[in-house]
Amino acid sequence: MEQNLRWEDFWHIYKAVTGMEPKYRRDFEEEVESAKSKLIKLFKGTRIEIEKELEISKEEAKFEIRNYLDELWERMERKQTLFASTGTMKEIHETMAFFLRFHISNEDFISGYITEKSPIAVKEIRGVKISKALRMVLKEKNLEQYADFLIQDLSILQQKLKTDNGKVKFVISIEPINFLLASNATTGWSSCHAVNREHAAGNLSYLFDHHTAVAYAYRKTMEFSGVEVPQKIWRQWVFIDIENAVALFQRQYPTEIEIYSKEIRSIVGNAFAEYHNIKPKWKKGNWNEEKDECYYYNEAELAYSDPTDTYIYFKGFSPSKDDWFMTVGEIPLCPVCGGEINVPSQLICSNCAGYVQCAECGRWISEDDANHGADNNLYCDGCFIRYFTNCAHCGEVIWKEDALYNPDEEYVCEDCFKKHCRVCSSCGYVIWKEEAHYIDDDYFVCENCFKKYYTTCTECGEIIKTYDAYYINDDVPLCETCYNEWLKNQKEKKKAVI
C-alpha cells in the first residue's frame, strides 16, 4: 500500500486552476506530510479502497438523464430533416424530459419495464416495456411519428444506467488531490469547497491538520484538467482522533445516503481496532444538534464547518466528554510565495491573489473590486454602500452620516452644499442658491415663503414683509418710504388743482 503522498497530479491541477507557479511546493509538501503522518500510519497507507455491489442512486440517475437530454438535443440538431420544425424539436425535448424525470424510476430503467413502484400516472401501462410506454406518451402528444427514432435513442441512456448499476468503490483518503477536488469531478453536484467556490481554501486548510481525511464513493473515472480522477457520486469529511479512537463524520454530499457513510465508518472502525489492538467493536452515535455540542475547533476558519452527521468511538470514550475536542483546519502555506493563505475563496494568499480585506466586515475582496472610503480604508461593495456615498456635485467620497441633501435629494458634501444650496430661513427647506430670495446677507427664503410672507415695492423694488406693505388701488404694494412719497405727491397735486 502506498506510504507516501502523491503530488504530481495535485500540482498539475493546482497550476491549472490558479494559473500560478508553486515556488514553495517543497515546503508545502513537507508540512502536509508531517501533519498527515499519523493518519497514514493509522490506515497503513495514504488511502483505503473497498468495493461493493450497489444499485445506482437517484442522484447518479439524475446526472445521467441531464447529460442524455443535452446530447439528445445535439443529435436532433444533426438530423433536423427528420423534424417538422425547431418548435417540434423543442416539444419533443420537453416531452422526453418530462417522461424521464417524472414517469420513470431507476428500477424501470434497469429492468426495462414500467414497475409497480413507477411514478407514472397511468396505471394501465405498468408492466409494459419502457419503449411501449414512451410510444403511448408520444401518441398522446401527436408525436408518434418520431417514436422509432426516440425509442432507439433512449436505449443509449438505458445502457449507460445499466452499466453504472453495480460496483461502487468506497475510499477514505489522505491523498492531496482528493482534498483539492473534494467537491469537483462529481456526478453534477457541488459544494462551497469546490476549487472555484467560496471555501476553496478550506480544502487546503483540512490538508494541513492532523485529523481530517476525505471519504468518497465512485463507480468510474473522468478527466479533470488533463488528469484522470474518480468521478465522485458521494463525499464526506471525517475528523479522526487517533489516540482516543473517536471519529466525527460530517455532512454528506450530495445528500445523506446511510449505506455509503456506513461503509466508511466500517473502514475507520476497523483501522482503529487494528491500531489499538482491540476488538473491532465500536459504538455509533447520531448527532443531536440540540443536545450535543460541536466537538471540534475550526482553527483557520477557511473551511465551511459542516454539522456533524454521526460519530463512532471505542473504549467507553465519547465526544460528550467535557474537556475533549479536536482542532481541524490549520492555516495553510501559500505554495506561491510561502506566506499564509487567508482568503477562504482562494488557493493562494491575499497578496498573490491581489485581494484585500474589507475594513468593516473583514471579507476578502479583489483589489479591483475594493472601494476607497472617506477614511482612505478599503471596503467591499456592501459596506461601502452602507456607510459612504459620492457627492452629487464634485464626486468626492463622503460619510453618509456627514452628508447633506441638495433640493433634488441627492447626497452632497459640505463644501458643495455651501456653494450651490441654501436653507430657507423661514420653513427650513433646502433650495438652490440661484432660486433663493435674499432678504439680507444672512437671511433668505424659498419661493413659497417669499410669496407667503414678502412682496416687492413696485416703486423702488425693495423687499418688504407683506404686513408692512402699503397698498394703493388694493394691488400696488409700496414700502413705507415710497408710500409717504406717494402721499406727499398726492397732496401736492390737490393743492395745484385748488
3-state DSSP percent of the chain in helix, strand and coil, to 5:
40, 25, 35
Spatial distance between the Cα atoms of 300 and 344, rounded to a whole number of angstroms: 9
CATH of 354-390, one of 3.90.550, 2.40.10, 3.30.60, 1.20.120: 3.30.60
pLDDT of residue 124: 59
- Phi, psi dihedral angles at 212 (to 5 degrees): -90, 135
pLDDT tens for 417-448 read 999 999 998 888 998 988 888 888 778 899 88
What stretches in the chain show pLDDT beneath 50? none
Widest CA span in the chain = 141
Task: Give the CA distances from residue 342 to residues 347, 362, 459, in Å, rounded to whole numbers and listed in that order.
Answer: 9, 11, 78
- The structure's pTM equals 0.63
Domain residue extents for the chain: 8-55+166-328, 58-164, 354-390, 402-448, 457-497
* Per-residue pLDDT at 169: 94
Q: Quick one: three-class SS letters along 248-259?
A: EEEEEECCCCHH
CB of 147 closer than 8 Å to CB of 23 = no
Residues 6+ apart with CB under 8 A from 40: 3, 5, 46, 174
CA distance 426 to 354: 54
| pLDDT per residue as tens digits for the range 114-134 | 877 777 655 556 678 888 888
DSSP letters spanning 308-373: EEEEEE-TT--TT-TT--EEE-PPPBPTTTSSB---TT-SS-HHHHTEEE-TTT--EEEGGG-EE-
> Is 172:267 a contact under the CB 8 Å cutoff?
yes
Q: State the pLDDT at residue 293.
A: 60
Using alpha carbons, select from 178, 230, 223, 181 the residue that is nearest to residue 17: 181
Determine the 3-state secondary structure of 302 from DSSP.
coil
Residue burial 320-334, b: 16+ Cβ < 10 Å; e: rest: eeeeeebebbbbbbb
Q: Are strands 404-405 and 411-412 parallel, antiparallel or unpaired?
A: antiparallel
Distance, CA of 246 to CA of 488 (rounded, Å)? 112
Nearest to 171 by CA among 50, 345, 302, 82: 50
Going by C-beta distance under 8 Å and a sequence separation of 6 or more, which residues neighbour residue 87?
A: none
